[in-house]
């Protein structure tokens, strides 16, 4: 990064992780030789400030099983919806 420092720079990374029971987060700031005192920040002493870290977590939707699909298709067929070329096979 070059040029004038801004008062605030915000980012919004999004992660998907198949993990359970997360109890903490670790932020690692890497040195950068192009910044003052090898960075990682752009301040005159190489520091940066993190004012806020917000984490939103939600469960990842599970992949429907063949039984779930079969129940849904049965409901459609009972409702009179025709489905052509459909084949349900267990692997």
**Exposed / middle / buried, residue 56 (Cβ in 10 Å: 0-12, 13-18, 19+):** exposed
Residue 39 is predicted with a pLDDT of 84
pTM of the model: 0.41
Encode the chain (91 residues) as per-residue pLDDT tens digits: 555 666 656 667 777 777 778 888 888 888 888 888 888 888 889 888 887 777 777 777 777 788 887 888 788 777 776 666 555 565 5
User: How many CB atoms lie under 10 A from the CB of residue 6?
Assistant: 9
Please give the Cα distance from 9 to 52 (Å, whole number). Answer: 12
Rg of the Cα atoms in the chain: 25
Spatial distance between the Cα atoms of 86 and 74, rounded to a whole number of angstroms: 12
> What pLDDT shows up at residue 71?
82
8 A C-beta contact, residue 34 and residue 27: no
């Amino acid at each position: 990064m070059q040029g004038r420092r801004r008062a605030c720079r915000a980012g919004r990374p999004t992660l998907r992780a198949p993990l359970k029971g997360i109890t903490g987060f670790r932020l690692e700031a890497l040195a950068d030789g192009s910044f003052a005192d090898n960075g990682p920040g752009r301040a005159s002493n190489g520091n940066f400030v993190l004012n806020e870290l917000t984490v939103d977590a939600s469960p990842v939707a599970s992949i429907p099983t063949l039984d779930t699909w079969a129940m849904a298709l049965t409901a459609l067929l009972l409702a009179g919806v025709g489905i052509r070329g459909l084949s349900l096979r267990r692997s």
